[in-house]
Amino acid sequence: MDMEGKIYTVCNEDHGFRYRSSDLYKTGKYIILSTKLKLEKGNKEQIKGKMDEYINFRKNNQPLEYPNAGSTFKRGEDYTTAKLIDECGLKGYSVGGAEVYQNHAGFIINKNGATSEDVVKIIDHVKKEVYKKFNKEIDLEIQIIGEDKKE
């Protein structure tokens, strides 16, 4: 869907899918509403083992108990962004109902009625503090859209 609400059907080649990105996503002009995937057959036990491994990792490291948009910040080329945020003492930092997750600083959670403005304020503060302490510009994993976006 484009930003005016017009719906398109796009073939596989036009998606340009790759790790954590697609050509449609990168333009910032479209939102993917749904897609069909063609998967390859594999060994059932190996697939189940890998799925269990991912589920356990998520349960232990990600905020499944709070609404959130997933990982907020991208991992750096030569650093782990969540570690830098943690070393800035920002775990638990909050604005309104939004908070840097205590168990993994790469997530911003909606702890209690957070607004998008709350989240953007945290993002701006985190980016500023990480740059001030480590001289690293961290990038967002999420994409902020809308009239009031900052960055």
Looking up tokens 């911003």 gives 108
Q: Which of 87, 94, 129, 141 is catalytic?
A: 141
b/e code 19-57 from CB counts within 10 Å (16+ = b): eeebebbeeeebeeeeeeeeeeeeeeeeeeeeeeeeeee
Please state, in angstroms and rounded to a whole number, the distance separating the CA atoms of residues 23 and 5: 19
Among candidate residues 4, 18, 20, 58, the one labeled active-site is 20
* CA distances (Å), origin 38, targets 10, 28, 58, 70: 15, 25, 25, 24
Please provide the distance, in angstroms rounded to a whole number, between the alpha carbons at the two ends of the chain.
24
Q: Could you say which of 21, 53, 71, 117 is catalytic? A: 71
> How far is it, in rounded angstroms, from Cα 45 to Cα 139?
37
Confirm whether 141 is a catalytic residue: yes
Residue 98's DSSP bridge partners are 95, 110
- 58 is known as an active-site residue: no
Active-site residue 34, yes or no?
A: no
Active site residues: 20, 71, 141
